[in-house]
Amino acid sequence: MNVRMYSARQRLRGEAISDIATAVHEALDESQLSFAAGARLAVAVGSRGIGSIDRIVKSALDWLSARGARPFVVPAMGSHGGATAEGQTAVLASYGVTEATMGVPIRSSMETVSLDSSGLDVEVFMDRHAWESDGVLLINRVKPHTDFHGFPESGLLKMSVIGLGKHAQALAVHGLGIRGLKEELLPAARRILATGKVLGGVAVVENANDEPMVVRAARADRIEPLERDLLRLAEQTMPSLPLDDIDLLIVDEMGKDKSGTGLDTGVIGRIRIAGEPEPERPRVRSLVVLRLTPASHGNAIGIGLADVITRELYDAIDFRATYENGLTSSFSERIKVPYVAADQRDAIRAAVRFAGLHADPASAIEQARIVRIRSTLDLSSMLLSAPACDVVRDRTDLTISAHSSLLFGADGRLPGI
């Protein structure tokens, strides 16, 4: 069972922004946003684990304040945070976005206002604090969605609907199943932007190391074309695992701060939504997850994408938050609990059997293509078994160490990557 693993570093694309504040200020300078002195502006911040989100938000707030506005922050995260005002405030705090660090009020509420939905197939809502403000500035990352592909995916437009619409909007859209995301998001977003309440947005594209690479801002009437351009850019920089066929994939941590689905579906090659085709690659025979991140606050959405989890992860689950997220999305496979292993060694044993490698366990695992990563958000470094190394040895974007270490340490646990 204790095979040798080799350290590998993957060179990922995209240079990170060195000066966040300057990038945000320059983007807003070019956006031609217009508002009156003294305007009470709601700055919408979501639950995604965006790199340097606290600095991005603070820079936007400072820019608005310097021009005479009176900004405040509203959580724009649908049903996340357990679908409670306190939970959503806690999610922001975990990212460093608090009243103390931002220097402005945070107005968190699940109360919404129903907007004109005539002609739409979904009712449209907006956070009451945002609706009663003098205008809204959206701040979000643009990237491919983990549930579907189309337009819009994850970004400012989706935030304007599901994020700002809180639990009520999440229920309305997800109640239509995958059709709600693929067909109803854009008409609903256009209707919301047409109210004039949204002044504009700040869009971030991250590099393959999940660091801010591009920051752009636009008035409301320019958000849609901006997001189309940035989504194409984001698709080009998405990281991936270096081999297509994997017998055993070990993920140290999953969580809401790593992906909206806990595990990035594009990285692991699993979506598990009725009616949505599974990704062609990678093909993972058995997937193990060891821990849930503290920043997830117990929300283990995505555990159903794994084959095996540890008792340590199971004990960290807040089932109320997890089930609320799952019920809201209507994707039941995502919250089904997989095999729960007593410890990490038991988890690997079970995964080997699920992968069909147990006919001759002593030798089968030695021939297995094993990949171990910290999370689906961090693909710059990983551990590979010798058979996996053989597959990728000729790749110029991968450096494999000549030194190896055993899969398990002396304490029976997997050592750090």
- Rounded CA-CA distance 397/417 in Å is 19
Q: Lowest mean pLDDT: which of 221-235, 347-361, 392-406?
A: 347-361
pLDDT digits (tens, 9 = 90+) for 201-221: 999 999 877 889 999 999 999
25: left (phi over 0), alpha (psi -120 to 50) or beta: alpha
Rounded Cα–Cα distance for residues 212 and 349 (Å) = 39
DSSP state of 333: G
- Each residue of 137-158: pLDDT tens digit? 999 999 887 777 788 888 999 9
What is the Cα–Cα distance from 20 to 26, expressed in whole angstroms? 10
Q: What is the per-residue pLDDT for 359?
A: 62
Distances (CA, A) of 17 to 119, 238, 341, 386: 42, 17, 41, 36
The reported pTM is 0.74
Kindly indicate the confidence band of residue 407, based on its pLDDT and cuts at 50, 70 and 90: very high
CA distance 279 to 261: 15
Q: Which domains are delineated in the chain?
A: 4-12+240-406 (no CATH), 32-237 (3.40.50.11440)
Distance CA 88, CA 45 (A): 10
Q: What pLDDT, on the 0 to 100 scale, is given for residue 360?
A: 63
Q: CA–CA separation, 169 vs 78, rounded Å?
A: 7
Mean pLDDT, the chain, rounded, equals 92
pLDDT in tens, 358-399: 666 556 778 899 999 999 988 989 999 999 999 999 999 899
The pLDDT value given to residue 362: 55
103-119 tens-digit pLDDT: 999 999 999 999 999 99
**Interval 85-109 mean pLDDT:** 96
Query: 195: pLDDT confidence band, cut at 50, 70 and 90?
Result: very high
Structure tokens at 342: 């007593």
Peptide bond into 279 cis (omega under 30): no
Interatomic CA distance for residues 97 and 11, integer angstroms? 31
136 Cβ contact partners less than 8 Å away, ≥ 6 residues apart: 41, 42, 43, 44, 74, 130, 164, 197, 198, 199
